[in-house]
């Protein structure tokens, strides 16, 4: 076996910094804070080819009443869209035959390690940059396809603007003339209140993260996690969103639409798209293209569709637990009683 638990934060973070697909969600402190607040045990696996570290694999495990589970990322309160294994900086420069050899090692070592833990349910969701999961499929994993919206910020601004739906352009022109102000917040209280109201709705598929988790993450990464609010001339809040600004400009969590005359949510997104471009980011992402009733609004911004993949395995007990959550606990009337949304 060429897999072991990595215990050196500096080695882990340097690997993520240099990789193509590693995001802020993969950074050491982000993962440790997630472990603390979700109750899942964090296992920071490193996979080697000889003496070379070729991949890191953050895994979160929990044993609940005999049901062993393994996730990357952990579900529910973590609110991490994707995680999964990360290949090193040299990976993209390798010949295809060498890439296949590396992926065979990663898949084989992780599979062998997981067989010792023997989870009833396993889910690993990769970032959009990494789509080659064939070796896992050959090792009897199943796969699901998910979608997200992205836009190339290296394009000229007029070209990006002209890709918007004409009705959206008219809306944004009116909003620009309304004198609204964009503020990067330093206090999470107002945005947390707005987010908690959204996530406390029984129709949401996930519960709200705890305020302490939110605070710890923003304290650990003040330059890479942002809170942006849009205020009208009277100082009223018309839109707010959190961002991940590390390797890409990513809209992370936002509030539902706040009714106002100038469609503040749309204008807020356009302002942040411009900010991302000014700050030198090459990609802007509005996470998720999997919610049907939101897709028409998001698609007006001229986004392209990117794919990301989820690997999973489940035995009979895991399948039963998944069915129970999807068909019973996740029902709106019951979920409100079972899951604590807000502290």
Residue 34 sits in a domain whose CATH number is: 3.40.630.30
Asked whether residue 67 falls in the same domain as residue 176, the answer is no
Q: What is the mean pLDDT of residues 263-291?
A: 91
Closest CA to 50 of 105, 9, 12, 113: 105
Q: What is the pLDDT of residue 293?
A: 72
When pLDDT is cut at 50, 70 and 90, the band that residue 209 belongs to is low
Pick from 106, 140, 174: which residue ends a domain? 140
Do 157 and 199 share a structural domain? yes
Same domain, 128 and 8: yes
Is 266 among the domain residues?
yes
175 and 287 both lie in a single domain = yes
Same domain, 165 and 110: no
156 shares a domain with 282: yes
* Residue 81 belongs to some domain of the structure: yes
Higher-confidence position of 337 and 276 = 276
Q: Residue 143's pLDDT band (boundaries 50, 70, 90)?
A: very high
Same domain? For 156 and 300 the reply is yes
- 124-133, 204-213, 321-330: which is most confident: 124-133
- Work out the average pLDDT over 97-125: 93
pLDDT tier, 225 (very low <50, low <70, confident <90, very high otherwise): very high
Check whether 145 has a pLDDT greater than 60: yes
Kindly state whether residue 115 falls inside one of the protein's structural domains: yes
In this structure, is residue 92 part of a structural domain? yes
Same domain, 160 and 302: yes
What is the arithmetic mean of pLDDT over 100-112? 95
Q: Are residues 183 and 285 in the same domain?
A: yes
Q: For 144-159, what is the mean pLDDT?
A: 94
Could you tell me if 108 and 139 are in contact, meaning their C-beta atoms sit under 8 angstroms apart?
Answer: yes
Q: Which of 120, 140, 160 is the last residue of a domain?
A: 140
Query: How many domains does one find in the chain?
Result: 2
Q: What local confidence, expressed as pLDDT, does residue 343 receive?
A: 28
Residue 117 is assigned to a structural domain of this protein: yes
What integer pLDDT is reported at residue 193 of this predicted model? 75
Structural domain range at position 48: 3-140
Task: Verify that 86 and 206 share a domain, yes or no.
Answer: no
pLDDT computed for residue 339 by the predictor: 31
In the predicted model, what is the mean pLDDT of the chain?
86
Q: Is residue 15 part of a domain?
A: yes
The percentage of residues in the chain with a pLDDT greater than 70, rounded to a whole number, is 85
Higher local confidence (pLDDT), 229 or 196: 229
């Amino acid at each position: 076996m060429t897999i072991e638990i990595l215990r050196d934060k500096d080695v882990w973070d340097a690997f993520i910094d240099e990789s193509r697909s590693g995001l802020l969600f993969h950074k050491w402190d982000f993962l440790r804070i997630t472990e603390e607040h979700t109750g899942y045990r964090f296992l920071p696996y490193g996979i080697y080819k000889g003496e070379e570290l070729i991949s890191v694999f953050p895994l979160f495990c929990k044993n609940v009443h005999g049901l062993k589970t393994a996730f990357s990322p952990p579900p529910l309160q973590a609110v991490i869209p994707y995680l999964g294994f990360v290949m090193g900086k040299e990976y993209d420069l390798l010949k295809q035959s060498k890439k296949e050899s590396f992926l065979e090692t990663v898949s084989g070592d992780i599979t062998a390690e997981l067989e010792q833990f023997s989870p009833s349910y396993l889910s690993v969701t990769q970032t959009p940059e990494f789509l080659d999961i064939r070796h896992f499929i050959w090792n009897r994993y199943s796969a699901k396809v998910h979608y997200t919206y992205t836009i190339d910020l290296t394009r000229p601004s007029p070209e990006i603007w002209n890709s918007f739906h004409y009705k959206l352009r008219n809306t944004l022109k009116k909003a620009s003339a309304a004198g609204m102000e964009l503020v990067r917040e330093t206090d999470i209280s107002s945005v947390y209140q707005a987010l908690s109201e959204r996530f406390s709705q029984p129709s949401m598929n996930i519960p709200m993260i705890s305020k302490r988790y939110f605070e710890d993450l923003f304290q650990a990464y003040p330059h890479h996690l942002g809170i942006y609010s849009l205020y009208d001339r009277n100082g009223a809040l018309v839109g707010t969103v959190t961002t991940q600004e590390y390797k890409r400009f990513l809209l992370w969590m936002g509030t539902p639409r706040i009714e106002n005359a100038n469609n503040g949510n749309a204008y807020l997104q356009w302002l942040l798209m411009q900010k991302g471009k000014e700050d030198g980011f090459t990609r802007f992402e509005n996470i998720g293209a999997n919610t049907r009733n939101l897709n028409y609004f998001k698609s007006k911004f001229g986004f392209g569709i990117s794919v990301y993949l989820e690997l999973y395995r489940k035995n009979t007990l895991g399948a039963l637990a998944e069915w129970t959550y999807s068909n019973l606990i996740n029902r709106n009337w019951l979920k409100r009683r079972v899951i604590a949304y807000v502290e």
